[in-house]
Amino acid sequence: MITDWKNNNTILRGARLLGMSVLSLSLISCSTLYYRTLETVGIEKRDVLVDRVDDARDSQTEAKEQFSSALEQYRSVVAVEGGDLETIYDRLNTEYERSLDRAEEVRERIASIENVADDLFDEWEDEIGTYSDAGLRRQSETLLRETQAEYRQLIAAMHRAEGAMEPVLTMFSDQVLILRHNLNARAIGSLDTELREIEAATETLIAEMERAIEEASRFIVAMA
């Protein structure tokens, strides 16, 4: 059980490095070895799940800030009259590449949460069958259902935020490409026509990100 997650944070992060070396030993038994290694230092799957949710929350916060930055850069480009178009392209492309990196990190964090959650709930269900006391078994079953419900709400919010990234990335990609292929004044003019749509999509994304971040915070508190 987690009594004070923050006090375990340093141990968790150090143990993750140890776990990463274990993962490289075997593709078949990597998860088992990883969890057994963590258990030797007192870290259970529950702790790993909370740690990964916290990492995902941080990644989504960073992604939200990056997409906001990309939108502001896009607005500044639209407002430009004249100037070095290649420099403008480089600025937008840099923001787009950074947004891609943040989006990929968010996806990876969500996948890591799902992996450990599946393992945690499978183990929990198996262990419920070992109770000899029927009352304790029912109590554990209730707690499992409640935890699974909390988790489903969290992961759904994260997937909504993940899905909201795609249309924004697609629109930014289109605008970067048109600049790359048409480094002339008309290319800048075409950006202005897409600004409102990109603003709306980015605002939707940021709202979904914020909801996912709130769900992650709530989940961490509930698990603690």
CA distance 63 to 206: 9
- Give 174-194 pLDDT, tens digit per residue: 888 877 776 655 555 556 667
Q: Is the pLDDT of residue 85 over 80?
A: no
Percent of the chain with pLDDT over 90: 50
- Give 8-29 pLDDT, tens digit per residue: 544 444 555 444 444 444 433 5
**Which pLDDT belongs to residue 113?**
94
**Which pLDDT belongs to residue 80?**
57
**Which pLDDT belongs to residue 186?**
57
